[in-house]
Amino acid sequence: MNRVYIKTYGCQMNERDSEAVAAMLRARGYRIVGAEDDCDIMLLNTCSVRDAAEQKAIGKAGNVQQRKKKNPDFVLGILGCMAQNRGMALLDQLPDVDLIVGTQKFHQVPDYLDNLRAARDAGVPLGETIVDIGEEPGSQNTIRDHELTEKQVNAFVSIQQGCNMDCAFCIVPKTRGDERSRPMDEIVAECRTLAEKGVKEITLLGQIVTSYGRRDYAHTGGVTPFVQLLDRVHAIAGIERIRFTSPHPRGFKQDLVEAYGRLPKLCGYVHLPMQSGSNRILKAMNRPYTRERYQEIVDALRVVRSDMYFSTDVIVGFPGETDEDFAETRALFEVCNYDMAYIFKYSIRTGTPAATMEGQVSEEMKEARNQALLAVLSANSERRNATLVGTVEEVLVEGPDKTGRKFTGRTRGNRVCIFDADPRLIGTLVPLHITRASVSTLYGELVLSEVPNNK
């Protein structure tokens, strides 16, 4: 009983958590397998941002429980945000789950699995479900191990967890706890180690990543702790690109805007959650900015880098959203000219202030507004990508594409590219002549005269 399959739902933070759990388990002697049919232990790392995400994970767990009827030694665990949100209540729907571990206890998973294995080896029934969703000081410092694949050129680095923003629609403060930041020296050391292992691109992660260290470090010369961290990661030899997610508009002070002009490794791509373009709805959401301030940030970043790429999060159908409110959201959405966006239909999350607000919007209206923004986004992305045809873009070669016949990489603007290449180029920055484009993908040919010799 040592073959583990981890299935991850949700955001990049969840992906990073799963990777850290996999690395800890491998160090303990477990085998991480890539197919669920090959495992003795299945861990579902779950998401709670929307009810649909929870229902998807519950449905999967319900199906997997059937394996326990054929093999009583099979172990099923639920980790992450849904485990934190529902805790013991999950057993009402999933009575055969063996392990429920919350967001501050990922590092305890190896110990709990060791206990389950020991019980099985001793011939003792597995017994009651292990449930651990307690808070633990310092838990943000435990997500530091990496499960790197061969020739992996990019990596996520968790720098901050938790959220103090209390947006009316969001359950994250409940599932992830209060803001907690890792020591800057430890983060820099982790990035340096990744660089030594061949990683070229770092993505810094946090629930509100731009809030990093704001209670732990001094603002030096008007420079926030987050920008201080960017400066230190930028100085690491071997790191060629830096990205971060997910920020909050409140975090885009002048020092961060200016960082895009003075740090060449900081990619010209910003994920800037808007949520709504209506000041009335933003106030109801408890989002501490206005549509005017949001547009000021976008404009300021485009002054620093005229070719800046933007993505965003938008919620349609928030309680009380009128046609006029949505029209303001659509207008700001069009002005900002996003290259990519996550557009969500508002989903009631029990325990949040918005769940009991008056003026709940019908599903039909949510869908209509969702489709309207998707149409704008598609046109924006297609138009922006079309302007790149005939240009030469710097691309970091990541490896074979899904077909295995070509290679893939991303531009500094986070656009996916498909092209022919030599495997020796994995991990290098290459010039790519863009020959055609779709809404989401660029296709091109290497400019061979400028390709670095990577023999």
What pLDDT digit, counting tens, does each position of 225-284 carry? 999 999 999 999 999 999 999 999 999 999 999 999 999 999 999 999 999 999 999 999
pLDDT > 70 in the chain, percent: 98
Domain boundary among 333, 362, 382: 382
Mean pLDDT of the chain: 94
Phi, psi of 75 (to 5 degrees): -115, 130
The C-alpha atoms of residue 159 and residue 206 are separated, in whole angstroms, by 6
Q: Could you read off the pLDDT of 164-181 as tens digits, one per residue?
A: 999 999 999 999 999 999
Which of 366, 382, 398 lies at the terminal end of a domain, its last residue? 382
Kindly list the distances between the CA atom of residue 49 and the CA atoms of 104, 170, 219, 242, in Å, as whole numbers in the listed order.
17, 7, 32, 26
Q: Do 334 and 446 belong together in one domain?
A: no
Same domain, 226 and 78: no
Confidence of residue 201 (pLDDT cuts 50, 70, 90): very high
CATH of the domain at 78: 3.40.50.12160
pLDDT of residue 128: 83
User: pTM score, two decimals?
Assistant: 0.94
pLDDT score of 124: 66
d(CA 248, CA 67): 43
On whether both 150 and 290 belong to a single domain, the answer is: yes
The domain that holds 152 is classified in CATH as 3.80.30.20
- Provide the 8-state DSSP code for 207: T
Residue type, 208: I
- Are 233 and 190 a contacting pair, CB within 8 Å? no
End residue of a domain, out of 323, 350, 382: 382
- DSSP per-residue codes, 152-189: --EEEEEEEE------TT--HHHHH-S-EE--HHHHHH
Which residue did the predictor score with more confidence, 152 or 1?
152
**Whether residue 127 sits in one domain with residue 148:** no
Q: What is the pLDDT of residues 49-95, one digit of tens each?
A: 888 889 999 999 999 988 888 888 899 999 999 999 999 999 999 99
Q: Indicate whether 291 and 394 sit together in one domain.
A: no
Radius of gyration (C-alpha) of the chain in whole angstroms = 23
- The total domain count for the chain is 3
Average pLDDT over residues 390-409: 96
Within-domain flag for 349: yes
pLDDT tens readout for residues 92-102: 999 999 999 99
**Predicted local distance difference test score (pLDDT) of residue 454:** 52
**pLDDT (0 to 100) of residue 50:** 85
Same structural domain for residues 123 and 150?
Answer: no
Q: Which domain, by its residues, includes 89?
A: 3-132
Residue 59: count other Cβ atoms within 10 Å of its Cβ.
Answer: 11
Task: Note whether 369 and 421 are same-domain residues.
Answer: no
Encode pLDDT of 422-451 as tens digits.
999 999 999 999 999 999 899 999 998 777
Q: Are residues 121 and 157 in the same domain?
A: no
377 shares its domain with 393: no
Residue 455 lies in a domain: no
